[in-house]
Every structure is written in C-alpha cells, then in structure tokens.
Amino acid sequence: MGGEPACGGQFFGGLIDELTLFDRALSAQEVSVLYNACDAGICQPATVVALTANLEPTAPGQTVVFTAVVTGGFGSPTGTVDFVADGATPLCTGVPLAGNQAACSADILPTGSHSIVAAYSGDGGHSAAASPPLSHTVGDSSNLLLTVTKGGTGGGAVASNPPGIECGGDCSEPYAAATAVTLTATADTGSVFSGWLGACTGRGPCNVVVGAAMNAAATFAPAALAPLRIDIDGNGNGPPYDALTDGLMVIRHLFGLTGPSLTAGAIGDNPARTDPAAIATYLNDILPILDVDGNGQADALTDGLMILRYLFGLQGNAVIAGAIGDGATRSDAGQIETYIQSLMP
C-alpha cells in the first residue's frame, strides 16, 4: 500500500474502515473485484436466507422437504444450516450447503400450524443469517396412506416424488388427499422391472392422485427372463406360444391353482420349465405383463381368458367379448390384440 501508484495513478488514500479476513484462497474473480474497487472499497452485500417447502399443507407423518437458499455475501457460501420448528424443535441440524442450498426432510411435525426457520452458520465471506419464519400447516384429516409392495424374484427399489417413499426401507407414506405422486421403479443390476399392478399399471413411472388408501405393487424379475414373454414352459422351439400349454397355465395360475394342478397336461415339447414351483415362480415374475386390459389387476376371467382366446387364434370381438375388466386402460380389440402380440413376438 502506498508504494507503486495503482488505481488510475493515485496512491492509496490511507483510510481503512472495514477489514475482512478470509479463511480461504480468493478466486481470481474476487481478487480482481477487490483490486479494481480501489479506494471506493467493497461493500459486502448482506447474507440472505430464503426458505421454502415442497408441499403446503402436509398430512401428519408425511415427509415435507424444506429448502434453504443462501445468497448475498462475498463469493460462494459454505457452512451449514439448522432447520428449527416453532423456535425449539430441531428438524435437521448442521446440514452442509451444496452449492448455495441445504435441504431438510422432516416427517415429525404434529398436526397444527408451525413456524419454521433456517439458520445459516456463516463463513469468512458471509455473515450468519436466518430466514424469515415460514408458516407450515400439518392437516388433521386427510392423511391417506400410499403403500408400495414388491414382488418377484428380482430386486429393485421404488422412490416417490414428492419424497416420502424409498422402498428400500420406507415403503409407505401418508399423503394429503389429491396429492399427485409419481412412483419410479429402478431394477437392481441383474434384475428387470416387470411392471406395476394395483394402483398402477404398465412399466413406466406411475402417476397417481391420492384419493384413498392405495397400494402399488412393483414386480422385479431376474434380468435373464427379459424380454418378458408368455412362453410359460419355455419351449422356445416351435411353437413357443400355445393355447393348451402356455395359455392354460396362465389362466390356471390366475385362478390360483398351484402344484400339479397348475401344470398337469400343459407342458409343451422340449420345455425349459416343468416343475410346478418353477412355473409358478416364472408366472409371478412376469405377472404384471399378464394385465392385458391394463386395469392394474391380473385376473383369470378377463386377462387370462383373452390370452387363451388369442392363443387359440380368435380375433377381434371374439377375443374381448365379456372379458374387459373394470377400469381397463385397453379395451378395444385392436389394442388388446396388439398388446398380447407384443408378449409373443
């Protein structure tokens, strides 16, 4: 200071009214800003903490995600955020900033109205600061439980958005009525997602609007079974798809038959599977694809009957007559035929 002229040829004026110590190396941009500020100095902007919730209101026991965003100050903020309810109840403590955000998932708030505050620790370039209180209401009536069950001999996980289900270990969540929830299934390595039954159908992400207690069943099969087909006895060399073997075992399984009554007289030539237990396991692994009418249920007298008819060579209305289930998402003959054909290319 005061040596070589800088700042447009002027010597340093000699006044210091604020001194900032940084506990980190400044970025090139920060050094440049300080240098070019010359004797105008740097006025550090106040640190501001903004707090939002992903849902408002929520049901008792429902996961709500609070997100704090730290702005202002000098450079990128580091440090941690504490989330506190009603001035006394810690929700999440010492959450490190990622970028300039910290998130807190909480499901412990009781019924009632709550005041949530996010308190930021501050760092060398940012003063400690707290958000304005965020009001959050936990409703008392319409907590409808959405549950996920998993089946099949493969493995995988189901997650929800909004969060609350990581199944995994957390396979249920109470949601306020009319909450739109997306469930996403991800198969483990070595497994394949067979599809949904129950509140969901098909194999894509499942969108439900919670209007009652609901269950979504996710089935995972060993990847070796993919692509999933209705060649139940696995006699791949001709004809692999046959009414009086594969079709019959499908409808028997959907009627709940097990053991020898599942397979008696219904195994084709050169089969890969003959044991009733192995046949039943295969049918359970592919169960969601048997939901031909796409109503979330795999039923004998609708889905099973249509598969059997189609394998017998029936077409058009003769396939679907009297066999479309309630809530079907596929109901005309063309859709049904196209779908069944996709299981037996």
Contact 242, 215 (CB under 8 A): no
Give, as ranges, the residues between 300 and 329 that touch Ca ion (CB under 5 A): 303, 325
**Which of 250, 238, 318 has its CA nearest to residue 283?**
250
Instruction: Single out the residue of 246, 285, 333, 340 in contact with Ca ion (rule: CB under 5 A).
Output: 246
Give, as ranges, the residues between 264 and 283 that touch Ca ion (CB under 5 A): 268
At closest approach, how far in Å is the CB of 155 from Ca ion? 20
At closest approach, how far in Å is the CB of 158 from Ca ion? 12
CA dist 121 and 128 (Å) reads 5
Instruction: Single out the residue of 30, 56, 86, 170 in contact with Ca ion (rule: CB under 5 A).
Output: 170
Tell me the per-residue interface mask from 2 to 41 with Ca ion, x by CB under 5 A, - otherwise: ----------------------------------------
Q: What's the residue count for the chain?
A: 345
At closest approach, how far in Å is the CB of 178 from Ca ion? 18
Give the gyration radius of the chain's Cα atoms: 31
Contact 246, 311 (CB under 8 A): yes
Q: How far is CA 30 from CA 35, 74, 125, 129, in A?
A: 9, 8, 11, 22
Q: How far is CA 203 from CA 126, 148, 294, 299, 335, in A?
A: 48, 15, 11, 18, 17
**Which of 202, 196, 188 has its CA nearest to residue 214?**
196
Beta carbon nearer to Ca ion, 246 or 285: 246
**Which of 65, 98, 64 has its CA nearest to residue 81?**
98
Give, as ranges, the residues between 175 and 234 that touch Ca ion (CB under 5 A): 231, 233
At closest approach, how far in Å is the CB of 7 from Ca ion? 60
Report which residue type is found at 323.
Answer: A
235 binds Ca ion, rule: CB under 5 A:
yes
293 binds Ca ion, rule: CB under 5 A:
yes
At closest approach, how far in Å is the CB of 156 from Ca ion? 18
- H-run or E-run covering 160: strand 156-161
Give, as ranges, the residues between 59 and 78 that touch Ca ion (CB under 5 A): none
Report which residue type is found at 8.
Answer: G
Beta carbon nearer to Ca ion, 240 or 276: 240
164 binds Ca ion, rule: CB under 5 A:
yes
Beta carbon nearer to Ca ion, 129 or 307: 307
- H-run or E-run covering 279: helix 276-285
Beta carbon nearer to Ca ion, 70 or 266: 266
At closest approach, how far in Å is the CB of 147 from Ca ion? 9
Q: Which of the 8 DSSP states describes residue 108?
A: -
**Beta strand 214-222 pairing with 143-151:** parallel
Which range touches Ca ion (CB under 5 A), out of 43-51, 75-83, 136-144, 237-245? 237-245
CA dist 124 and 104 (Å) reads 24
123 binds Ca ion, rule: CB under 5 A:
no
297 binds Ca ion, rule: CB under 5 A:
yes
At closest approach, how far in Å is the CB of 236 from Ca ion? 8
Beta carbon nearer to Ca ion, 123 or 291: 291
Residue carrying structure tokens 């097990």 = 258
Chain contacts with Ca ion (rule: CB under 5 A): 164, 170, 173, 231, 233, 235, 240, 246, 268, 291, 293, 295, 297, 303, 325
